[in-house]
Amino acid sequence: MGNIEQSIKGKILDINVIQSILPHRYPFLLVDRILEVTDKRVVGIKNVTINEPFFQGHFPGHPIMPGVLIIEAMAQVGGVGALNMKGNLGKLAYFLSINNARFRKPVVPGDTLRIEVDLLKTKLSIMQVHGVAKVDGDVVTEADLMFAFVTPSDEGKK
């Protein structure tokens, strides 16, 4: 596996640095802060607030963060580390698979998601990770994810 660039390793990353790494923007940027970045692990925070656009329809009178968006937040946290590895700079990460996803408790407005992503292995331009999302120390979601890294100019060739 490639090494994380020294410019972010071991640092807390604010939203400006995150936006310089990930291509996502509001309302689809689902990471507010990165607390830890190493060659093997990335830990991030997503503050869940009632003004998130998805709460208008999921569900009126009983707001719950959609599980697919928790998985996406995991992918984005992992992407901060993966896209800063030598060989992946300037690339995009596309989902290849989501396996063993488990949703244990609902996530509601006012929760702070602590998302821990272990960067497991890379082979060629594919990476496997395991993500765990917690609220107040309790696991709410976990999943195994796989990404493919592509250069933006390769996008239309598939």
Q: Which CATH number characterizes residue 43's domain?
A: 3.10.129.10
Domain-embedded: residue 139? yes
Q: How many Cβ atoms sit within 10 Å of the Cβ of residue 121?
A: 10
| Sequence-ordered list of residues with C-beta below 8 angstroms from that of 33, at least 6 positions apart, any chain | 12, 13, 14, 15, 18, 44, 45
* pTM for the structure as a whole: 0.93
Q: pLDDT digits over 99-152, tens only? A: 999 999 999 999 999 999 999 998 889 999 999 999 999 999 999 999 999 998
Number of domains in the chain: 1
Domain-embedded: residue 2? no
Confidence of residue 3 (pLDDT cuts 50, 70, 90): confident
Q: With pLDDT > 90 as the criterion, what percentage of the chain qualifies?
A: 82
62 is an active site residue: no
80 touches 117 (CB < 8 A): no
Average pLDDT, the chain: 93
Q: With pLDDT > 70 as the criterion, what percentage of the chain qualifies?
A: 96
Domain-embedded: residue 3? no
Confidence of residue 9 (pLDDT cuts 50, 70, 90): confident
Query: Domain span at residue 140?
Result: 15-157
Q: pLDDT digits over 31-43, tens only? A: 999 999 999 999 9
Residue 155 pLDDT: 55
Domain-embedded: residue 5? no
Catalytic residue among 24, 58, 62, 130: 58
Residue 124 pLDDT: 86
Domain-embedded: residue 127? yes
Confidence of residue 1 (pLDDT cuts 50, 70, 90): low
